[in-house]
Structure 1
C-alpha cells in the first residue's frame, strides 16, 4: 500500500534554503533512516509530513487511511496532568478501561478494582493491556499519578516514547511512525528492547537517529539530505557509506572534467566574443553552466589532524586505595589504578552508580573520602560535560572560539586559524558569524566539543558527547579521536562510538565495585548476556536440586521422624522462607523506583540486608533438618 508521496517540495527559512525540489515515496513496511548534519532540515521535513509545518512549494499526499504518529525531540505535554492522563489521552472505551484499571491498581480499593476487571473482560482489553504493561515496564515508568511537569528531561522523553508506542498499538493498522532521535536518554537495555519492539510490530517507519547499531537493526533504507538534495540508498548504514563514497568520487571526477573545460572556455570568453550568431550566444550561455559545475565543492568529513599536543610525562594519573561515599551509598571502595600514555577507557554502568562523580574526582573537582589521587604535572584535562556551552553573553561563533585562542598548533609547526578549525567541524564561513543563541541544540553540542578540542588538551574526559549530535558530526568527531594521541575517557550509551574508540571498560557495578573489562562495549554486552544466561541456568538447576531434595526428604520422613520440636521448627521454616523471599522481592522493586527519596532508600537498603541474612540462615537450617529427617 502506498502511504506518502512528496513531489517537488521545497522549504527555506529566510534566505537559508533547507531543501529544494525534492521528491520521494513511502510505502507500507518501509523502514527509513534520515541522515543529515544539524540545520539541514531533518526535523522540519518530519514536521511537514506530520502536518505541523507547510512547504514553500510542491505537494505532499498522504493516503486517507494512514495515521501519522510523530515522536519529537522536545515532547509536548499537558504539564498539569498526570503521566497516566498524558499517556492515555484518547477518549475510547478500551483506552478508558485500561486507564481506569491502571489507576485503581495503584490503590487498595478492592471494589473498584473488581469493577475495573469486569469492564476489561467485557471489552476484551487484556491483550492490549499486556502490551501497555510491557511498554511501561521496559521504559521504567511506574508512578503514573505523578504530574508530568515534575519529571526530569530523561523521564519526559521516556513518557513521550511510551505515549507514542501505545498510540500506534491502539490506532488503525495503517500507521506511519515518524521518530526524531528516539534513543536519546535511553540506556542500552531500553535501546535493545526498542529495536526488538519495532521489528516485531512491523511498523512503517521514518526515523532520524545518530545510533548506528540501532539504525542497522531497525532500518532497511537510508535517505541523506545534503546540499538541498535528497539521496536514497537501499540497505544498511555501511552500504550507505559505500554508495556515498562512490557518489562523491563520481562527482569529483565530473568536477575535474568541468574544470578542464572551464579553463578552455574561460580563455575563449576573455577574447570578448561578440554574440553575433546563435551559436556564439549558445556557447556563452553554456560557459556559465560549466563555471557553476567547476566551482562546486564537495564536503569532506574526514578529519586528519596531527596535533601538536603538550607532551605527557611518565606520570599521568595514579589512584591509590580511593574511597568515596555519599551516606550509605558507596561510589568507590579502595579503588587502585595507574593510567598509561594513550589509554582509551570507556565507562559504563547503571545510572546512579557514580560514573560522573568518578570523573569529577579524577579532575580534582570532587574530593575523595580517603586514599590518594595523584595527577602528573604535564596533564591538561579537556572536559566535555552534559551541562552544555557556558555562555556569559551572546556572541558570534567565530568570536567565541577566538576568545579561547586565535590558532590551533599542528605537529609540523604550522597552525590552523579558528575559522579553518571551525570549517573542519562543519561550520562553513557563512555560519561562523551566526550568534550562539541562533544555533540549534545539535549545533551547540558540536561547538561545545570543538571548543574542548581547540584548547589542545592531552587528557580528554567526555561525558555523553554523542547526545543530540548528527551522524556527519559524529563521523568527524570519531575520525579526530581515532588519531588522538593523548589519554581518553568516554561515558556513552552509543555502542558504535564506544566500540570504535575504547580499548577497555570500567564497569560500575554498584556498591563501590568497578570491574576492569578487557574489551569494547559489544564484547562486554556479549559477556554480560552469557553471564545472565548462566545465572538463569544455575537458578533452574538449583530449583531442580531443591525439588529433588524435597522428594528425598519425603521418602526419608517415612523411615525416620524428626523430634516434635524439630518438626515444628521445620514447618515454621517452610512458612518463613517464602515470606522472606516475597519481602525481598517487594523491597527490590521499591528500590528500583528512580524517584524514591534518599532517606527511604537508606531504610530499604538496611532492611534488605537484614532480610537476606535471615533468609540465608533459615535456608541453611532447613537443609540441616531435611538431612536429619
Structure 2
C-alpha cells in the first residue's frame, strides 16, 4: 500500500478542552474510511487538520509529494456572485466536460434541473450544497475528504453518491474519508471505520455494521473487566469494615489498595438515554386526509391532487419523495398548520400531534435563554416510564451535563439543539409524532438511541427522511411522492422507490386511495415487528361459514375483556416478583453466594418467560376486544 498522507503526534485544544491528543495515523492508497463519533468529539476537526485547513497545537500533518487532496467543508464557502457554470466548470467549454462520461454523470446526478446561468446566491441551501459537491467531484484528486456530504441529499442522491464513490477509482487506487451520520452510506461504501472519542481515534475494519459489532465486543470486554474490579472493591471494603483501625503498615496497605480500586473508575462517555415519555391516549380515529388538493402557491401547479391517506392508531409510515414534491407540506397539513385548497383533513378527538421540523424553528425564539430555562418553561417535573424526573435530571439523561444546562441555546451545537428540540416535543406527551428529516445534525450514537425510543413508541409515527437505515428500521411501510401530485404505496420500500426513479420499474397505480399497513406487503416490514404482529393476531375461528368480513361478536368481546383483566392481574404479580428478584440479586450479602445467585437467576428467567407469555395473551385478547 502506498502511503498518501498522515498525522504524527497531533494535538489540538479549544479553550480548556483537549479535542485530539498525541494522535498518529495515516491514509493509504485504496483506503475507504468512514469517520464516526459523538457530536463535538472532533471528527470535523480531524478531517480539517488532515486536509491542512487548520493548524494543530502540536504535531504535524505530512502529505506524500505530488498528492492532491479535495475537501468538502460543512460550511457554505461558494462565491454567491458567480454563476453555477463558472463555479462548477470554470473556463472549460461544454464539449470538454460533456465528452467525459464521469463528469456527465456528476452533472446528471447532482445538478439536474438547475440552470447553468443561475447565480449561486439565488439557490437554496440544499442546492448550493449539491453545487459544492459537484465542484469537488469534477476535479481529479488522489484523496477526497467529505464532511457530511449526505446533508440536503434525498434518498436518490445518497444512492447516487454511494455508487459514484465506489466506482470513481479502480480497486486499490485513490482514497477518501467521509464524516456522515448516514449508516447505510457507511456500510455501502467504507471498508475502514475510525471512531473519534476521548481525544483519540480507534480503527475498525469494515463499515458501520462491522464497527458496531466490534464496538459491542469491546464494550463487553470492558464491562467484564469493570465487574471484576467491582468484586475486588467489595472484598476490600468488606475487609476494611471487619479489620482493625489503621495502626500498622498492613492495614494501611489494605486501605491504600481499596482507595486505589475505588479511584480507578474509568471516565464515563457522554451517554445519551432517550426514554419514552408518557403518551396521551389515542382513540381509533387518528388522521384521515380525504380527497385533498393543495398548491404551495395559488397560481402554481398543485402539490397534491385528490389524494387520500388514512392513518390509524399505531400506524408507522415512512414518506419518501423528490425534493419539492411536498413532503414537509403534507406534514403541515396533517398538523393543521395549513388548510387544503379542496378536500379535508379529519382529526380524531384525542389526537395530539407534534412535529420535529428540519430547521429547529421551535428554538429560534429562545436563542438567549439557557437550556434548563427552556426545558422547564411550562412545567418542572416530567413523567418518564412511570417515574418523576426534574427538568435537570431529564436533560442529564439526554447528554446535557449540569454545566451545559446553563448554556444559552444560541451557543449549542447543531446536534445539541436537535436533541433539545426532540426532548421538548416528547415532554408535551403527543400521541402522533411527525419527524421531518430527524437525522440532520445527529451523530450515530444519538440516532441509535432515537431509533430505540421510536421502536417502543406507542402512538402513530410519520417519518420524512433520506436516511433509509432509519426508515427501514422504525417504519412498517413507505409511501412516495414522485412529483406528479399523487401519493403511492411502496410495497418494496425504499429499494422500489429507487428502481422507479431510475426508470427500471413503473410507478405503482393509485389503488383505492387508501394507504394503511395493508397496502404494503410484509417485505417492507422489519422481521421483528412482523413477528410481533403475527403473534398478537388471534387465530381464525372455523365456524363452517364464510365470515371473512365479520368481526367478533359482542359475547366474544366481553369474554376477551375478562381475559384481559385476569391477565393484567397476573402481569402485575409477575412484574412485582421480577423487581423483588432484581433487588435480591443486587444485595451485597448474596454477591459471593454463587449457588444462591444461580437459583435467583433461574427463577428470574422463569418469571420473565411467564410475563412474556402473559403479555402475548393480553395482546391477543385486546385485538378481539377492540375490533
TM-score range with shorter-chain normalisation? 0.7 to 0.9
Q: CA deviation at 1:362?
A: 1.5
Q: Does residue 462 of structure 1 match 2:435?
A: yes
Listed as ranges, the gaps of 5+ residues in structure 1 are 90-95, 103-116, 536-629
Aligned to 1:49: 50
1:204 counterpart (159, 170, 175): 175
Partner of 1:532, secondary structure, is: coil
2:153 counterpart (173, 186, 189): 186
1:233 counterpart (198, 204, 220): 204
CA contact (8 A) 2:189 2:207 kept: no
Partner of 1:497, secondary structure, is: helix
Q: Does residue 323 of structure 1 match 2:324?
A: no
Aligned to 1:423: 396
Spell out structure 1 runs of 4+ moving beyond 4 A: 263-277, 283-289, 298-303
Mapped to 1, the partners of 2:244 and 2:68 lie a distance apart of 63
Mapped to 2, the partners of 1:276 and 1:314 lie a distance apart of 74
TM-score calculated relative to the size of structure 2: 0.73
Q: Does residue 395 of structure 1 match 2:369?
A: yes
Partner of 2:104, secondary structure, is: helix
Mapped to 2, the partners of 1:229 and 1:386 lie a distance apart of 32
1:368 counterpart (318, 336, 340): 340
CA contact (8 A) 1:255 1:293 kept: no
Partner of 1:249, secondary structure, is: helix
2:120 counterpart (115, 138, 148): 148
CA contact (8 A) 2:8 2:25 kept: yes
Question: What's the C-alpha RMSD, in Å, of the aligned pairs?
Answer: 2.9
Partner of 1:40, secondary structure, is: coil
CA contact (8 A) 1:499 1:522 kept: no
Deviation track 1:44-86 (CA, whole Å, cap 9, x = no partner) reads 1111111122222333322223222111111312232222333
Q: CA deviation at 1:163?
A: 1.2
Partner of 1:69, secondary structure, is: strand
Deviation track 1:145-173 (CA, whole Å, cap 9, x = no partner) reads 33322221011101110111122x2x4xx
CA contact (8 A) 2:111 2:131 kept: no
Mapped to 2, the partners of 1:72 and 1:131 lie a distance apart of 22
CA contact (8 A) 2:52 2:61 kept: no
CA contact (8 A) 2:277 2:426 kept: no
Partner of 1:146, secondary structure, is: coil
Change (3 A) 1:177 1:19: same
CA contact (8 A) 1:503 1:519 kept: no
Q: CA deviation at 1:285?
A: 7.6
1:434 counterpart (391, 394, 407): 407
Q: CA deviation at 1:299?
A: 5.5
The 5 A counterparts of 1:480-629 are 480-518=453-491, 520-525=493-498, 528=500, 532-533=504-505
Aligned to 1:344: 316
Aligned to 2:226: 255
1:356 counterpart (312, 328, 345): 328
Mapped to 2, the partners of 1:243 and 1:444 lie a distance apart of 30
Aligned to 1:5: 6
Change (3 A) 1:332 1:411: same
TM-score calculated relative to the size of structure 1: 0.72
Q: CA deviation at 1:237?
A: 1.2
Aligned to 2:511: none
Partner of 1:294, secondary structure, is: coil
Aligned to 1:559: none
Q: Does residue 81 of structure 1 match 2:48?
A: no
Mapped to 2, the partners of 1:25 and 1:232 lie a distance apart of 11
Mapped to 2, the partners of 1:47 and 1:486 lie a distance apart of 42
Q: Does residue 307 of structure 1 match 2:277?
A: yes
- Which structure is larger by alpha-carbon Rg, 1 or 2? 1
Mapped to 2, the partners of 1:291 and 1:511 lie a distance apart of 65
Equivalent residues, number: 495
Change (3 A) 1:512 1:86: closer
Mapped to 1, the partners of 2:502 and 2:102 lie a distance apart of 27
1:377 counterpart (345, 349, 358): 349
CA contact (8 A) 1:255 1:296 kept: no
Deviation track 1:560-590 (CA, whole Å, cap 9, x = no partner) reads xxxxxxxxxxxxxxxxxxxxxxxxxxxxxxx
Change (3 A) 1:289 1:275: same
Aligned to 2:61: 60
Q: Does residue 408 of structure 1 match 2:382?
A: yes
Partner of 1:259, secondary structure, is: helix
Q: CA deviation at 1:43?
A: 0.8
CA contact (8 A) 2:490 2:496 kept: no
Q: Which moved more, 1:213-222 or 1:403-412?
A: 403-412
CA contact (8 A) 1:259 1:294 kept: no
The 5 A counterparts of 1:281-296 are 290-294=261-265, 296=267
The 5 A counterparts of 1:261-276 are 261-263=232-234
Mapped to 1, the partners of 2:491 and 2:248 lie a distance apart of 74
Aligned to 2:444: 471
Listed as ranges, the gaps of 5+ residues in structure 2 are 508-627
Q: CA deviation at 1:16?
A: 1.9
Change (3 A) 1:321 1:435: same
Aligned to 1:564: none
Partner of 2:504, secondary structure, is: helix
Aligned to 2:534: none
Q: CA deviation at 1:477?
A: 1.0
Change (3 A) 1:205 1:397: same
Mapped to 1, the partners of 2:224 and 2:390 lie a distance apart of 30
CA contact (8 A) 1:502 1:520 kept: no
Change (3 A) 1:82 1:534: closer
Change (3 A) 1:374 1:162: same
CA contact (8 A) 2:276 2:453 kept: no
